[in-house]
Amino acid sequence: MRRLADLLPAAAMELGLEEPLRRGRAMAAWQRLVEEHLPAAAGATDLLDLRDGVVIVAASSPIVAQELRLRADELLDAFALSSGGLRMRELRVVVRPAARPGGGSSAPPDPAGPPRRRV
């Protein structure tokens, strides 16, 4: 009996889903390597895109972003060697605070209330 993991790449190629499968594997590889190399940042980063040799990731805070930038070479090397990872030349980090439950803004409400419309 063959394993599903062995059948999935061929099926994805036939269905035209090779790119989403590759992206999913790369995202999983990114999460694993962050957990291994930067345990304090586990869960605080997300792989956003892989484009033209650049790994674009989001960090939940400026301190996490700085740590990712400082360890960029190490992370890129680990990404290239990981299962599902790719050889990339640059790590680009953007700061995107984690969304609050309920999707609300993190800014406090304006005590004056919403602006009033003039008629």
* Domain boundaries along the sequence of the chain: 7-98
Strand partners, 64: none
CB 71 within 8 A of CB 37: yes
Angle, helix 18-37 to helix 4-14, in steps of 10 degrees? 130
With 90 as the cut, is the pLDDT of residue 56 above it?
Answer: yes
> What phi and psi values does residue 36 have, to the nearest 5 degrees?
-80, -45
Question: Residue 10: its pLDDT value, please?
Answer: 78
List pLDDT tens digits, range 58-77.
Answer: 999 999 999 999 999 999 99
Rounded CA gap, 49 and 117, in Å? 41
Distance CA(7)–CA(106), nearest Å, equals 45
Does the pLDDT of residue 30 top 50, yes or no? yes
Helical H segments across 1-119, by residue range:
4-14, 18-37, 62-70, 72-81
Question: For the domain bounded by 7-98, which CATH number is listed?
Answer: 3.30.300.180
Which is more confidently placed, 100 or 11?
A: 11
pTM beyond 0.85, yes or no: no
Q: What are phi and psi of 86, to 5 degrees?
A: -140, 155
pLDDT digits (tens, 9 = 90+) for 76-118: 999 999 877 778 999 999 999 866 555 444 444 444 444 555 5
Nearest Cα residue to 37 out of 97, 117, 91 = 91
Q: Which amino acid makes up residue 101?
A: P
- Paired tokens of 23: 């992206």
